[in-house]
A and B are shown apart, each in its own frame.
Chain A
Amino acid sequence: GAGVSQTPSNKVTEKGKYVELRCDPISGHTALYWYRQSLGQGPEFLIYFQGTGAADDSGLPNDRFFAVRPEGSVSTLKIQRTERGDSAVYLCASSLSRGLRNVDTQYFGPGTRLTVL
C-alpha cells in the first residue's frame, strides 16, 4: 500500500517568505507527527496530531510555525517569515493510534528539504 507522502520534495525560498509543506499519511492512520532534521542531527519533534487536533505542539520552535490537519488526514506545516535557520529536512510520520496504553510504530515519509536563502 501507499506510504506517507510529502510535497514538495524540495522547496527553496527567500528569507521572510511564507511556506507550506504538505503531508499525506497512510490511510487509516489517525496519528500524525512532524519532525525537523538539521544536517548531522537526528530528527527533532515539532508537533503531533491525534485526529484533527494537535495533541502536543511543544516542539514548535516559535510562533512562526503552525500546523493544521482540518479533516484528520492531510496535514500542512506552515512557516511564516522564514529565516535561514529554518533550513532543514521536514519529516512527517503517521501511525495507528490504538489508545494511550499502546505505542505504535511511526512510518516516515521522504521529507521536504527546505532551503531558505
Chain B
Amino acid sequence: AQSVSQHNHHVILSEAASLELGCNYSYGGTVNLFWYVQYPGQHLQLLLKYFSGDPLVKGIKGFEAEFIKSKFSFNLRKPSVQWSDTAEYFCAVIPSGSARQLTFGSGTQLTVLP
C-alpha cells in the first residue's frame, strides 16, 4: 500500500523567511499529488494539486510545489511566509487508476512568528 512521509512535524519561521516542507511518497506507479492546508479552527482546504504536465505547480496564496519523480517527492515552497500562513499542512496522494481515496501524510505544523 502507498504511504506518504512528511519528515518535518513542526516548523517555526519568522515572517518573510522562505519555506520548504518535505513530502515523499512510496508508490511505484503514476500518482496524483495534493497539498491541503488546515488553518486554526477551519476545515481542510486544497492548496494545490499535480496530476500531470509541468512538474512545478502553483497554488493559492503564493505557494508552489515541485514534483520530482526520481525522488518520489512533492515538496511545498513559498518564498516569503506571512503570519497568516500559520497552519497545518498535509501532503496527500491518489495513485492513478481506480482508487479515489486520499492517502495523507501525518502533517507539518507551521508556526510563523510576527
Contact = CB atoms under 8 A, between A and B. Distances in A.
Interface of A: 3-4, 31, 33, 35, 40-45, 48, 55-56, 59, 91, 93, 95, 100, 103, 105-111
Interface of B: 4, 32, 36, 42-46, 49, 51, 90, 92, 94, 96, 98-107
9 contacts: A41-B107, A56-B101, A91-B43, A95-B100, A103-B32, A103-B94, A106-B102, A108-B45, A111-B43
Contact of A109 (B43, B46, B90, B102): B43
Most buried by B among A4, A35, A43, A105: A43
User: Which 4 residue pairs across A and B have the least CB separation, nearest first?
Assistant: A42-B104, A45-B101, A108-B44, A110-B43
Interface SS of chain B: helix, strand, loop or mixed?
loop
Given A42-B92, A103-B51, A110-B43, A59 B101 contact: yes
A35 B49 CA distance: 19
A39 B102 CA distance: 18
Contacts of A110: 42-43
Contacts of B32: 103
B93 to A, nearest CB: 10
